[in-house]
Amino acid sequence: MEKLKLKALQIRKTPILVPLAVLILVLGGYTFLQFRGVSAASSLTLGQQYLNDLNYGGAIAAFTQAIELDPGSSEARIGLAQAYAGTEDYDVARQVLEDLVYTQRPNEEAVNAMVEILQQTGQLSQAAQLTQTLITTTDKDAYYAKRDEILTQLYAAPRSYAVGTDQQLVITNGQVQSLGSNTLGQLGTDPALVAASENYQSAGFPGTARKVICVGRTSFVVDDSGALWAAGENRWGQMGGGYAVTAPEGGWVQVDCPGPVADVAGTTGRLLVLLTDGSLWTVGAGSGQTLTPLTRFPVVIQIASNGDKAAVLTADGALYTSSSGTPDQWSLYRRDAAAFTLSDTSLFVITTEGRTTSDSYYSDAPLGWTVSPEDGALQPDCVVTAIANAGSRILFTTADGQLCTFRSGGDIQEVESGAAVTTLYPQGEVVVVEYDDGTARYWGEDTSTAQVLI
Amino acid sequence: MIWSGVILAIGLLLAVLAVVLRKKLGKSWMISGMALGVVLAVLGGWFLRGQLAQAQESREAVYLGLQCLERYDTEAAAFYLRQAEDGENYAASAATGLLERMRGNDLVARLNLDAAASAAGSEEETAFLDTLRVLDVTSSEHISLAAERLAGFLDLSAQRQEELNRYLDVASGSYGFSFEEMDDLGLDETAGMRLQVGAMLNSGSWEAAVSMAARLADEDPSEDNRLLLAEAVAESAYQGIVLSEGTFFDGEDMEEMDQSAQEERQALSEERTKLETRLMELEIQTQGMEDQEALGPLNAEKVELTEEIQELQNRSDKLYIYRAFSAIADLRSLEADLVRARLYFALQQYDEAVDTLRDSAGSLRAKLTTDREMANALQIVENAYETDTVFYETQEFRDAVTQLLTAPFSDLMYVSQSPLTQDFTQQIISDQKEYGQDLFLSSLDLEDFPTVRVTLSGREELLEQVVEHSNVTARDTRKEISYTAEVTEGQFANICVVVDCSGSMDGAPIENLKTALGDFVRNMSENTSVSLVAFEDSASKLTDLTQDQALLLSTVSDLYGNGGTNITSGIQAGTEVLSQAPGSRVMLLMTDGQSDINMAAVEEAAAAGITIHTIGFGSVNDQLLEQIAQGTGGQYIRADSSSELSNVYASLQQVIGNVVTLTYTAEDMDILSRYFFLKVNNSSVYRVYYLGQEEDTAPVLYTSSPALLSPGSVEQMLQRESTMTFSLSGKNLLGVASVEVGGQRADILDQRSDTLRVSVVPQFAAGWQTVTLTMESGETFSFDRLILVGESQYYRNLRLGSIQIAATQGVLPGDGTLVLAGSGIRLEENVSAENSSLELSVSGVLILPWQQGTAADGETAPTSDLNLGDRGTVTGWGVVTLNRNDSAYANGAPSVVAEGQLTLECAPEQSQLIQGQEGGN
């Protein structure tokens, strides 16, 4: 009897206990969900998932929320940048990473991500600078290799046209041609035979040329093996042979350099030679008749010059200038330079913040751009990767590969071309644009369309 | 919301099924099923209702935010938009995007608009975002239209919108209100009174606000209202308002007013008077006292008394803040913690304020609270203080901190914009900022290379790790190095604080400076002495190096801003103070302006072993200040404003005097371009150095005038007992201590970096006269091709190879050479009659090969043109410059072609000019 009563009790408990358990489960589950809410970690995980699935829109929303929930999360910022890079909105990607990168203790992963973005958008100079930052903060071998890889890309930019004091050089199909005065042999030919030439003629260069540069009345060619050749004026011994010549002579002399040459610049009497390892060497006025290293600039990204001034951009973003009259004296021009061009009249700098400044060119801002009231710098509404002037005409390239032009006070016009721009640089009174199909064109102040070089 | 709906639906379904299937289930199961179904349905409905209400609140918050945007009140808009729910809300994200565009935060705006795009539920919503991206935020019409359009997406009735508009008017204090109106808005009396307190605080009616809050707390002593009272007290005190008892008394009979506060003030005043009397006694006692040992404890007592007096005064002025602490001491919620933190901040006890927040973040309350937003916000602040990350100057972090600090008063817009909140937020942000480097390289000594000695300065704990090789990576030119390191211990630190007291510092900057220096002095260690120098048009030493904190504090308190900016004078005065001090010598140079700086003053400081750390804010010349620091082994710190000076000086205080010398042996000595790298935790130093090139500081002489002397003229001078004056030109001549010419000691008449004018008794034999320079260090440099005594010959033109040399004076020393000297030697070479390819001038000496009977016919006078042959080598010493007629001439080009040792290899077709070394010949 007792057993039956007990069994009856047991059976009657079940209809109570089961619903109670369900109720507790439901309440507990709901409380847990409310309690947990949305956390930064969960948003981060969701964002990563979206990234893996290439759902960039979802990733952007998730990472944005993660940042709101945890503003200090570097993973969220990096993820957000990667999401924007995935949509090819590199400008926003870059801005998202800036706070992690341009700081006293840059985040290694963020810097790496930024370097990738900069390489994608052709901002090789900045990419090299950031890689240098990784080197100075970690000294990891991998970053040396990365820097060298970027510098190789940077230095490979062609230079098919050069203007000197009274001569011009151009490369066509790897061969050098020259025109102008040949009083000192600067055309590469014998001055006794050719005193001057109004038209382009063969410069007698024996090899295949990759770059031509003129420094005063001395002409230089970097050939495809990285060797440096010179012709013309050598009064200061700037051809690095250990002597200065007195009478003019024709022909090309190889300059004895300690390594492959990336670029050459200088002012009358003084030569600067940038090697592919980033070291800068000098010879001539102020330094002697043999190449000596300019040790104050350990790693150099870019050099350029006009008749009066030479400029050096180092891997840590410092831009130095020196004038032709005092070649051994360098002064710091800017600490935040990402890239620059130097025409006969103006030094244009693109800062690490993406602004453009000039030492002598002042312009009303084109539509969409703004002018800084403090220093007159122009803030573009796009990412400018290179900018130069031909008189009052400005040409610039953008991160999405567009070539544009405007004149002071005028509107920006996009320049259509079939091929992608490889490099843009000023020479003499023009700006030269070289394309990846091997062609080159130039713009003058008054030319409304691009002109073929030769 | 979905889960709530599911629970509701399941509940209803269960209840229905229980009834429908009652025969199969049986009575007990039917009843329990129905009961469960009903309970679940009720719960689900309740949850859903709550969530719908939350969603409604969120939409209303967005609406209020949009209205604030229309009024261009971005901070108020931020306050309301932060209260909107999660980021999956299209309208909230879009509105936030618009807000950030108006604030000029384009990136944050872009992120929010993109987030809104993924939450958009229709093409219309997506299209509208494109409008938001490009609309003109300076146009009130555009903003108004955009806000109106966004409000349309919120599904609020026109009546509700009207009510919210009215609510906003009241909350912002732009409209008075009545309690009847509050009723219409659905607000009870308490809510209305709270709004009124907020409006009063907004309009600066501090006492009235405190009074109202006190009345509210009396009538309804809920936690929220008690916290509101404490907040009102904090806001008032932060504005410098000294609250009186009357503020808290609501009655008519003044005798009934609580007198306890007055009594407490009286007691504090009496205590203060006692301390001031004792302080005065000490001042009299220590006046003129020289016994340092006895003076020490008395000075310490003076400092203590000064601070106690200040503390008592503070306590009296801010009595009600202390009472507010007591009034909420029993409250144990996160909201109460936040209010306590605000009270500490109002008392300017910043450390305690931050500690309160951090303690709250780590408390059990924070872990168990259902208010995950608040818990999350606390964790954000805690993470900021815990980690090394240095990018907290973002809008997101600022908003998160502001939201946290105002969390207890989510109904009061004023609190989010109050100076207390803004300053507290800024304090937390500034605390994350790093000032200067916590590890830096002061010097790299290569004198005994390959042994390299590196001097590191920085935070004590980092340097200890370096000594212990704990988590340290050390490399030299891509190779790991093994090093020994020792700490310079027990060294007395002498610090001269040089501050800019020019006119631009007047006002807040000088007050911030005083605060910063006051903290600096109070935190100075026992083996430190400090001197204070101020500069404006000139510098004044305000105190000698002293450990008397009271004296320093008193001097600091008298600083004021007036006059110009002469940084050089400050450096010079600081050098004077420190140059004889034993122990380490550090100068902290602070300026907010620009002036020319004589780098010789910096070099002098460096030579005296003084490390200069520079601090700049405002319109300073960053490059120059950095140069000063680098030139003396210090570091440059750039502050955004004077309000950061306290953190800057505190940061420097952590690194001054901590020095480690690290020694190692470098490998691969054939690599000339090298670097040193060291990393400790996340701090690193990287310094490039180069072997094989010494700085060009050695003196060089290139020319002498006169360079050629005839024996006759020398004899005449000796007979007349006259001295002969020589002008010597070269470089790096400032360090020359004495000069000898031809073995005779010369007197230095004039000395510059590139010229020396000397006079000497010309007891010269024939031949070359060696000129010897002796430096201050005792090192000597000799030059024996500057001055020649011999019979002069005069030649017009000499030809050797392709070169024609035009000179006026020469000497045949009888050794097979012809020496030409002076400043008029010309080298020419003509390619053709029309083209002069070469024209150089030589100042100095040229030595040509000369054979007896060189003249063409043996009879030609020496003044004729001479052909010395087709080939030959000319040596020389001096400077070769380019003339205008040379075909290489260019305007602005360097005129010097070669200097020092010269060699001219002459040949018929072409000659070569070779420049040799520059050193003593």
Contacts of B892 in chain A (CB under 8 A): 268, 307-308, 323-325
CA distance B678 to B674: 14
Helix (H, G, I), strand (E, B) or coil at B86: coil
Contacts of A65 in chain B (CB under 8 A): 86-87, 115
Could you read off the pLDDT of B329-361 as tens digits, one per residue? 899 999 999 999 999 999 888 889 999 999 999
Could you read off the pLDDT of B564-597 as tens digits, one per residue? 899 999 999 999 999 988 888 999 999 988 777 8
| CA dihedral (B291, B294, B299, B302) positive or negative | negative
Nearest Cα of chain A lies from the Cα of B475 at a distance, in angstroms, of 8
Q: Which of residues 141-180 of A touch B (CB under 8 A)?
A: 141, 144, 165
User: What are A175's strand-pairing partners?
Assistant: A172
pLDDT of residue B255 exceeding 80, the answer is no
State the pLDDT at residue B858.
42
> In this complex, is the C-beta atom of B831 within 8 Å of any C-beta atom belonging to chain A?
yes
Q: What is the DSSP letter of B245?
A: H
Six-digit token pair at B691?
């072997």
| Residues contacting residue B304 through CB under 8 Å, at least 6 positions apart | none
Look up the pTM and report it.
Answer: 0.83
CA distance B772 to B782: 4
Band of residue B477 on the pLDDT scale cut at 50, 70, 90:
very high
Nearest Cα of chain B lies from the Cα of A440 at a distance, in angstroms, of 30
Contact B788, B819 (CB under 8 A): yes
Nearest Cα of chain A lies from the Cα of B396 at a distance, in angstroms, of 6
- What is the secondary structure of B214-243 as a DSSP string? HHHHHH---HHHHHHHHHHHHHHHHTT---
More confident residue, A365 or A55: A55
More confident residue, B823 or B782: B782
Q: Which of residues 224-283 of B touch A (CB under 8 A)?
A: none
Name which of A450, A448, A418, A446 is nearest A433 in CA terms.
Answer: A450
- The region of weakest confidence among A97-111, B76-90, B203-217 is B76-90
Could you read off the pLDDT of B381-439 as tens digits, one per residue? 998 998 766 567 788 888 889 989 999 998 888 888 899 999 999 889 888 888 888 89
State the pLDDT at residue A11.
57
**Contact: B890, A144; criterion CB under 8 Å:** no
Mean pLDDT, residues A396-404: 91
Of the residues B683, B913, B917, the best mutation for testing chain A's interface (the one with the most A CB atoms within 10 Å of its CB) is B913
Q: Which among A70, A243, A307 is the nearest to B912, CB-wise?
A: A243
Contacts of A137 in chain B (CB under 8 A): 679, 684, 686
Backbone angles phi, psi at A113, to 5 degrees: -65, -40
Looking at CATH, the fold of the domain delimited by B493-654 is given as Rossmann fold (3.40.50)
Mean pLDDT, residues B478-485: 94
State the pLDDT at residue A271.
96
Could you read off the pLDDT of A141-169 as tens digits, one per residue? 999 999 999 999 999 999 999 999 999 99
Task: Report chain A's C-alpha Rg in angstroms.
Answer: 30
Could you read off the pLDDT of B101-145 as tens digits, one per residue? 999 998 999 999 998 988 888 899 999 999 999 999 999 999 999
> In this complex, is the C-beta atom of A91 within 8 Å of any C-beta atom belonging to chain B?
no
pLDDT of residue B921 exceeding 50, the answer is no
Mean pLDDT, residues B676-692: 91
Q: Which among B4, B679, B838 is the nearest to A246, CB-wise?
A: B838
Mean pLDDT of chain A: 90
Name which of A128, B389, A105, A302 is nearest A114 in CA terms.
Answer: A128
Burial of B433 (0-12, 13-18, 19+ CB in 10 A): middle
User: What are A356's strand-pairing partners?
Assistant: A350, A378
CA distance B746 to A81: 73
pLDDT of residue A413 exceeding 60, the answer is yes
**Contact: A61, B888; criterion CB under 8 Å:** no
Band of residue B856 on the pLDDT scale cut at 50, 70, 90:
very low
Query: What residue segments make up the domains of chain B, in order of their start?
Result: 2-50, 55-200, 439-488+663-690, 493-654, 700-784, 791-915
| Residues contacting residue A347 through CB under 8 Å, at least 6 positions apart | A309, A311, A321, A333, A340, A341, A358, A359, A360
Q: Which among B36, B107, B376 is the nearest to A92, CB-wise?
A: B107
Question: Same CATH fold, B700-784 and B493-654?
Answer: no
Looking at CATH, the fold of the domain delimited by B700-784 is given as Immunoglobulin-like (2.60.40)
pLDDT of residue B857 exceeding 50, the answer is no
Contact A320, A291 (CB under 8 A): no
CA distance B389 to A352: 21
ipTM of the complex: 0.88
State the pLDDT at residue A37.
60
**B133, B135, B138, B144: CA torsion to nearest 10:** -110
